[in-house]
């Protein structure tokens, strides 16, 4: 019954989505208020339908209903509850249903929070959202139905790949999807604006919270994914330039560009046409990523089962959704009037520079990801594009972004004084230089690039702090006055401060952990010791262990610092009988100054264990930086300019004007 209910509500959802995709749009054309109002109602009901359907699938996984093909393929009775649930999106069909659930959730949120939007704009946005939902629901129903029955039902399921049975990976896809799908709202707003032929600062303000929310979530999703890879894959790597990782990085880069260019639209009524294009591209890149992953066209560690039929379907969706939006853009972009004028040295120009670099970076990652495929399709030649390519091309493009982000955010709108800004940044410049010289001196001139990277990080962080102290007149007035000024600064400013500093922290983490990593690959027997990162590790031997759905061997490393025992690290080798698969679990001591990372290998013939011990200095700064960056976005999201009441007042005016 569960599967049938799920199936039925999904079919129902398709019908509702078609209604949502057509009637409100027709209403907006004919200026029919009743048809337009249908948008909100249908968006809410659509979400409820899909939610029920998704709930049914979760229920089927929880009760291990193996008469459902998808459950039998991907679950097992002995799996812990968390992984039974996360197993729902650990496979293609279920993850598509989660995708659509989030898509419709966003639609419903526009209906709920968008009371202040002009009626016609809202109707159009919801209609486009409905059309996207309809296409993806039909994709699920026609090519990837999770509710197919299996007869006879097997007694036991085949289980979930054990490397996916992990809390980090349980939450990674939902965040990632909220990010991808969140950009669909921005996309719908962009297309609606093109249909209306008007885009103004009010539009940018409506779009901003959605962009921010999607961007924050995508940031967290990517960070979770790389954190998972770091502790689960067992050799301390955290980013592999894997096609699937790239598929999430590309929308993130373009989304970041969008976030910044939308500010120009909002404050200066300029860059409108470009912002619209970015909004379309961001979601298109999310779709492209989905296509690349789901079609199995790029083989990758992450790929679900390959299926050309699905690939063709998603390709059609890509043409339909992105293609029509781009054609609309080509036809209507000329209607968008150029807005505010500015000089080449101004905040606007700096943000254009930022956009140029971020989109170039995205294009380079896209090129590297697709190149092997293009070459094989056109010439039948095989080539690999690995990390060395990206290090040589992507990093140089990103480096100026780091330097410029401090300067850009200090420039005035319209026309600015670059020399003046650089003068105000004297402290940051000197600190950065000092950092570079100290590191070159301390490492004996070996690591110039490392020194430069750390100098740039110092520059970002100090430069951002300079901005704060200027804004609150630190040291010029009594501290209490400065603090009260700080409280009154807009949240968007604080969001920028946090996110930019977080970028500095991220770069510090990346640089130090990759440059000064210490590694021991050793055969050890009980009693052997190793010193790494100021710790002394003593191998105390191994123990057999039994988990809920696995058995394994646990190595024990006593960790001492200054003669005192701090902790015992317990790396494991697990064997999952149901899935006939094995995993290694690293034993990690995580601190702010670095991670002690231990991996247990095989036992050799003479009873020694092959072990791998790393000290990864400051590696956690990578994820702290990424999470702080997302946190900055959230702070920005709470800016009062985006508050509903103010927007309401504002939109009434807009409505009045539109009428």
Residues between 174 and 213 with contacts to other proteins, criterion CB under 8 A: 200-202
Nearer to other proteins, 29 or 315 (CB): 315
Nearer to other proteins, 218 or 385 (CB): 385
φ, ψ of residue 462 to 5 degrees: the values are -65, -45
CB of 371 to other proteins, least distance (A): 5
Q: Near other proteins by CB under 8 A, which window of 1-9, 389-397, 452-460, 631-639?
A: 389-397
DSSP 609: E
Q: How many CB atoms lie within 10 A of CB 112?
A: 12
Nearer to other proteins, 463 or 601 (CB): 601
Positions 352 through 371 that interact with other proteins (CB under 8 A):
352-353, 356, 359-360, 363-364, 367-368, 370-371
DSSP 320: I
Return d(Cα 315, Cα 593) in angstroms, integer: 46
Quick one: how far is CA 177 from the chain centroid?
Answer: 8
Quick one: how far is CA 524 from the chain centroid?
Answer: 40
x/- binding map, residues 558-587, to other proteins, per CB under 8 A?
---------------x-------xxxx---
For other proteins (CB under 8 A), the number of binding residues is 100
Which of 82, 330, 434, 479 forms a contact with other proteins (CB under 8 A)? 330
Positions 57 through 96 that interact with other proteins (CB under 8 A):
none
Nearer to other proteins, 288 or 512 (CB): 288
Positions 440 through 479 that interact with other proteins (CB under 8 A):
none
Please name the residues in contact with 475: beta carbons below 8 A apart, sequence gap of 6 or more. 469, 482
Please name the residues in contact with 84: beta carbons below 8 A apart, sequence gap of 6 or more. 61, 62, 64, 75
Nearer to other proteins, 377 or 526 (CB): 377
The reply to whether 552 sits near other proteins by the rule CB under 8 A is no
Positions 253 through 272 that interact with other proteins (CB under 8 A):
269
Positions 123 through 182 that interact with other proteins (CB under 8 A):
161, 163
The reply to whether 403 sits near other proteins by the rule CB under 8 A is no
Return d(Cα 193, Cα 200) in angstroms, integer: 9
Tell me which long-range contacts 226-232 makes (C-beta under 8 A, separation of at least 24): 226/622, 226/623, 226/626, 227/168, 227/623, 228/166, 228/168, 228/169, 228/172, 230/619, 231/168, 231/586, 231/588, 232/163, 232/166, 232/168, 232/169, 232/583, 232/585, 232/586
Instruction: Report the SS3 class of residue 517.
Output: coil
Nearer to other proteins, 9 or 143 (CB): 143
DSSP 145: -
Which of 154, 167, 237, 547 forms a contact with other proteins (CB under 8 A)? 237
Are 346 and 305 in contact by the 8 Å Cβ rule? The answer is no
Nearer to other proteins, 55 or 387 (CB): 387
Nearer to other proteins, 298 or 627 (CB): 298
Instruction: Report cis status (omega within 30 of 0) of the bond before 152.
Output: yes
Degrees (nearest 5) of the Cα angle 602, 607, 611?
40
Which of 23, 132, 277, 425 forms a contact with other proteins (CB under 8 A)? 277
Total count of residues recorded for the chain: 659
x/- binding map, residues 478-517, to other proteins, per CB under 8 A?
----------------------------------------
Return d(Cα 81, Cα 201) in angstroms, integer: 48
x/- binding map, residues 607-646, to other proteins, per CB under 8 A?
---xxx----------------------------x----x
CB of 263 to other proteins, least distance (A): 13
Q: Near other proteins by CB under 8 A, which window of 340-348, 428-436, 468-476, 508-516?
A: 340-348
Are 195 and 117 in contact by the 8 Å Cβ rule? The answer is no
Instruction: Report the SS3 class of residue 567.
Output: strand
The reply to whether 602 sits near other proteins by the rule CB under 8 A is yes
Alpha helix positions (H), 296-323: 308-318
Nearer to other proteins, 484 or 657 (CB): 657
Nearer to other proteins, 182 or 552 (CB): 552
Output b/e per residue, 301-328; b: 16+ Cβ within 10 A: eebbeeeeebbebbbebeeebbeebbeb
CB of 63 to other proteins, least distance (A): 29
Which of 1, 81, 381, 546 forms a contact with other proteins (CB under 8 A)? 381
- Alpha-carbon distances of 573 from 234, 525, 550, 604, rounded to whole Å: 11, 17, 10, 15
Nearer to other proteins, 189 or 203 (CB): 203
Two tokens at 477? 């007035």
Nearer to other proteins, 27 or 201 (CB): 201
Are 124 and 196 in contact by the 8 Å Cβ rule? The answer is yes
Q: How many CB atoms lie within 10 A of CB 364?
A: 19
CB of 610 to other proteins, least distance (A): 5
| Dihedral angle sign, alpha carbons of residues 132, 137, 142, 143 | positive
x/- binding map, residues 283-322, to other proteins, per CB under 8 A?
-x---x--x---xxx-xxx----x-x--xx--x--xx--x
Positions 513 through 532 that interact with other proteins (CB under 8 A):
521-523
């Amino acid at each position: 019954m569960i599967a049938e209910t799920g199936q039925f509500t999904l079919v129902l959802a398709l019908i509702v989505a078609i209604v949502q995709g057509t009637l409100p749009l027709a209403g907006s054309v004919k200026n029919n208020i009743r048809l337009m109002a249908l948008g909100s109602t249908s968006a809410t009901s659509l979400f409820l339908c899909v939610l029920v359907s998704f709930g049914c699938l979760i229920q089927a996984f929880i009760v291990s209903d193996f008469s459902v093909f998808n459950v039998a393929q991907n679950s097992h009775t002995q799996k812990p509850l968390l992984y039974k649930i996360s197993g729902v999106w650990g496979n293609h069909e279920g993850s598509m249903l989660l995708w659509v659930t989030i898509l419709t959730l966003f639609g419903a949120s526009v209906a709920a929070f968008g009371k202040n939007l002009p009626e016609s704009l809202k109707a159009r946005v919801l209609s486009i959202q409905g059309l996207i939902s309809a296409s993806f629901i039909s994709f699920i129903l026609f090519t990837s139905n999770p509710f197919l029955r299996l007869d006879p039902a097997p007694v036991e399921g085949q289980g979930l790949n054990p490397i996916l049975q992990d809390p980090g990976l349980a939450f990674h896809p939902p965040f990632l999807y909220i990010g991808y799908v969140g950009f669909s709202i921005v996309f719908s707003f962009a297309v609606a604006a093109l249909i209306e032929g008007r885009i103004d600062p009010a539009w940018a303000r409506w779009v901003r919270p959605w962009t921010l929310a999607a961007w924050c979530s995508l940031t967290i999703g990517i960070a979770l994914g790389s954190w998972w890879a770091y502790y689960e894959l067992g050799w301390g790597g955290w980013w592999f330039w894997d096609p699937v990782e790239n598929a999430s990085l590309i929308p993130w880069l373009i989304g970041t560009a969008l976030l910044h260019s939308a500010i120009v639209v909002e404050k200066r009524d300029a860059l409108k046409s470009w912002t619209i294009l970015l909004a379309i591209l961001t979601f298109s890149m999310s779709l492209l990523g989905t296509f690349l992953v789901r079609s199995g066209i790029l083989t990758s560690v992450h790929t679900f089962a390959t299926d050309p039929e699905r690939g063709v379907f998603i390709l059609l969706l890509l043409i339909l959704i992105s293609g029509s939006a781009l054609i609309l853009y080509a036809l209507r972009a000329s209607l968008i009037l150029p807005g505010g004028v500015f000089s080449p040295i101004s905040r606007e120009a700096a943000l254009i520079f930022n956009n140029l670099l971020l989109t170039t970076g995205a294009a380079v990652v896209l090129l590297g990801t697709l190149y092997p495929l293009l070459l094989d399709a056109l010439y039948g030649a095989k080539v690999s594009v690995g990390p060395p390519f990206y290090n040589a091309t992507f990093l140089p493009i990103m480096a100026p972004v780091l330097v410029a982000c401090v300067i850009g955010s200090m420039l005035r709108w319209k026309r600015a004084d670059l020399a003046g800004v650089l003068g105000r940044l004297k402290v940051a410049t000197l600190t950065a230089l000092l950092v570079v010289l100290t590191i070159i001196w301390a490492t004996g001139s070996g690591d110039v690039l490392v020194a430069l990277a750390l100098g740039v990080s110092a520059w970002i962080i100090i430069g951002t702090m300079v901005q704060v102290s200027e804004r609150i007149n630190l040291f010029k007035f009594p501290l209490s006055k400065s603090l009260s000024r700080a409280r009154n600064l807009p949240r968007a400013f604080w969001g920028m401060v946090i996110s930019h500093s977080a970028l500095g922290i991220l770069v510090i983490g990346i640089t130090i952990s990759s440059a000064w990593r210490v590694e021991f690959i050793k055969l050890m027997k009980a009693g052997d010791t190793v010193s790494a990162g100021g710790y002394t590790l003593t191998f105390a031997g191994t123990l057999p262990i039994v988990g809920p759905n696995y058995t394994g061997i646990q190595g024990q490393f006593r960790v001492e610092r200054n003669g005192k025992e701090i902790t015992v690290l317990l790396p494991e080798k697990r064997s999952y009988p149901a899935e006939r698969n094995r995993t290694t679990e690293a034993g990690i001591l995580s601190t702010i100054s670095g991670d002690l990372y231990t991996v247990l290998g095989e036992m050799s013939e003479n009873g020694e264990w092959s072990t791998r011990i790393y000290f990864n200095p400051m590696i956690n700064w990578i994820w702290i930086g990424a999470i702080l960056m997302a946190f900055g976005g959230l702070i920005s999201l709470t800016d009062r300019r985006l508050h509903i009441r103010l927007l309401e007042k504002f939109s009434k005016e807009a409505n009045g004007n539109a009428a």
